[in-house]
């Protein structure tokens, strides 16, 4: 793995240890599998890896103690796990 990834992972891990929450949006199957295989999904938390921006914003609102707004009425999923 490249130096940039190593530095990013170390920096993110240190931030999370200090209480920062990282919320990822638009994560498709292949990147999700890579996050899981690398052990990084466990560090970030599966609840913080979302398939779309609306769910990621709601997760962020939840972290901040704010009310969720939900997906817009015209929401069209682009990530397979969002097609429920």
Whether 9 is in a domain gets the answer no
Query: CATH number for the domain including 71?
Result: 3.30.750.24
Count of structural domains within the chain: 1
Whether 15 is in a domain gets the answer no
pLDDT attached to residue 70: 86
Whether 11 is in a domain gets the answer no
Q: What are phi and psi of 65, to 5 degrees?
A: 80, 20
Whether 30 is in a domain gets the answer yes
C-alpha count within 13 angstroms, C-beta hemisphere, residue 80:
5
Whether 43 is in a domain gets the answer yes
Whether 4 is in a domain gets the answer no
Containing structural domain, residue 65 = 21-82
d(CA 80, CA 24) in angstroms, rounded, equals 16
pLDDT, one tens digit per residue, over 4-55 is 777 877 888 888 889 899 999 999 889 899 989 988 899 889 999 998 999 9
Entry pTM? 0.76
């Amino acid at each position: 793995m490249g130096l940039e990834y190593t530095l990013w992972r170390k920096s993110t891990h240190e931030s999370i240890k200090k209480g920062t929450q990282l919320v990822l949006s638009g994560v498709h199957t292949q990147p999700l599998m890579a996050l899981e295989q690398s052990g990084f999904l466990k560090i970030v938390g599966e609840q913080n890896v979302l398939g779309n921006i609306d769910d990621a914003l709601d997760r962020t609102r939840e972290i901040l103690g704010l009310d969720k707004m939900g997906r817009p009425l015209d929401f069209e999923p682009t990530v397979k796990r969002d097609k429920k």
